[in-house]
């Protein structure tokens, strides 16, 4: 979701810098990039250590979520081409799952802003035992859709996400956003979702 469907990474970073200022910690853009796409509790543990603040990982996540939910309700920063591709897939009745490490209370406002039935399944970061880059989230998504991972195509923007999907057995279309994603087996890189059609995805999967 973050970085692929909506460009919310700047919202997360804004809230991270605000947290550092509030609690007298230190933070950098490089630190923010280091946690893109990963499990939120793991990211919060990194924040606690590198920001140097006396907050538990759970407290850090909840406070960051308060901030990003408020920002996304003010303005939804859609990624170019994402809604158009989803609409085309929906029209062809291609089942799609949203696989994100964001927690459900942040995911729901984004999903509500889309047409009904845009996603047949949601897998959120607070509903898995192991976050990305572990494959659990993508394995669960494939199961919910009723397909084997090898029959699916994942669209990802981060190294952690691409590793998660690839390890699960999905073919991966990588559209980098804020961090570079290295080439890898089963990965196809594309600069943007703009102009991408369901037929193109079928060709990539084939």
The arithmetic mean of pLDDT across residues 46-62, rounded, is: 97
**Of 18, 48, 74, which residue is a domain's last?**
74
- Check whether residue 48 and residue 114 sit in a common domain: no
In this predicted structure, the answer to whether residue 205 has a pLDDT above a threshold of 60 is no
CATH no. for residue 35?
Answer: 1.10.150
Q: What is the pLDDT of residue 204?
A: 75
Overall average pLDDT of the 121-129 stretch: 96
Do 70 and 132 fall within a single domain? no
Check pLDDT > 60 for residue 206: no
- Domain span holding position 17: 9-74
Q: Please check the confidence at residue 85 and state whether its pLDDT lies above 80.
A: yes
Q: What is the mean pLDDT of residues 121-136?
A: 96
| Other residues' Cβ atoms within 10 Å of the Cβ of residue 103 | 19
Q: Is residue 157 part of a domain?
A: yes
**Average pLDDT for 148-158:** 96
Domain-embedded: residue 24: yes
Please report the pLDDT score of residue 185 as a whole number: 85
The 8-class DSSP code of residue 37 comes to T
Within this chain, do residues 90 and 157 fall inside the same structural domain, yes or no?
A: yes
Asked if 46 and 112 sit in the same domain, the reply is: no
- Residue 2 located in a structural domain: no
Retrieve residue 140's tokens: 């669960």
The tokens for 22 are 């509030």
Q: Is residue 3 part of a domain?
A: no
**CATH number (domain holding residue 201):** 3.40.50.1000
pLDDT in tens, 162-201: 999 999 999 999 999 988 999 988 899 999 999 999 999 8
Average pLDDT, the chain: 95
Q: List, for residues 96-113, the tens digit of each pLDDT value.
A: 999 999 999 999 999 999
Domain match, 114 and 198 both: yes
Q: How many domains does the chain have?
A: 2
- Percent of the chain at pLDDT exceeding 70: 99
Is the domain of 28 the same as that of 101?
A: no
- Check whether residue 106 and residue 40 sit in a common domain: no
Among 74, 97, 125, residue at a domain's last position: 74
Q: What is the pLDDT of residue 71?
A: 96
69 with 86, same domain: the answer is: no
pLDDT of the residue at 59? 98
Does 27 lie in the same domain as 57?
Answer: yes
Q: Of the candidates 74, 93, 109, which is a domain's last residue?
A: 74
Which pLDDT does position 109 carry in this prediction?
94
Statement to judge: residues 17 and 87 lie in one domain? no
Does the pLDDT of residue 158 top 90, yes or no?
A: yes
Q: Do 43 and 86 fall within a single domain?
A: no
Task: Give one DSSP letter per residue of the chain, joined into a string.
Answer: -BTTTB--HHHHHHHHHHHHHHHT----HHHHHHTTTS-HHHHHHHHIIIII-S--HHHHHHHHHHHHHHHHHH---BPTTHHHHHHHHHHTT---EEE-SS-HHHHHHHHHTSPTTS-SEEE-GGG-SS-TTSTHHHHHHHHHHTS-GGG-EEEE-SHHHHHHHHHHT-EEEE--SSS-----TTEEE-S-STT--HHHHHHHH-
Q: Would you say residue 4 lies in a domain?
A: no
Same domain, 104 and 164: yes
The answer, yes or no, to whether residue 28 has pLDDT greater than 60, is yes
| 205 vs 177 pLDDT, higher one | 177
User: What value does the mean pLDDT take over residues 67-87?
Assistant: 96
**Whole-Å CA distances, 49 to 10, 17, 26, 46, 67:** 21, 15, 10, 5, 21
């Amino acid at each position: 979701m973050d970085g692929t469907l909506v460009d919310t990474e700047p919202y997360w970073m804004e809230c991270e810098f605000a947290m550092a200022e509030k609690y007298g910690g230190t933070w950098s853009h490089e630190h923010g990039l280091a946690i893109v796409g990963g499990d939120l509790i793991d990211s919060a543990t990194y924040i606690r250590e590198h920001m140097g603040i006396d907050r538990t990982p759970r407290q850090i996540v909840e406070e960051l979520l308060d901030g990003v939910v408020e920002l996304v309700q003010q303005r939804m920063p859609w990624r170019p081409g994402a809604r158009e591709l989803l609409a085309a897939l929906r029209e062809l009745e291609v089942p799609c799952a949203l696989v994100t490490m964001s927690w459900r209370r942040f995911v729901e406002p984004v999903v509500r802003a889309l047409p009904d039935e845009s996603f047949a399944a949601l897998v959120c970061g607070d509903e898995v035992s192991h976050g990305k880059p572990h494959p659990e989230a993508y394995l669960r998504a494939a199961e919910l859709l009723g397909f084997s991972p090898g029959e699916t195509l994942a669209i990802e923007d981060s190294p952690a996400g691409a590793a998660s999907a690839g390890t699960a057995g999905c073919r991966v279309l990588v559209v980098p956003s804020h961090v570079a994603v290295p080439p890898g087996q089963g990965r196809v890189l594309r600069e943007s979702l703009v102009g991408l059609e369901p037929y193109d995805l079928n060709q990539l999967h084939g």
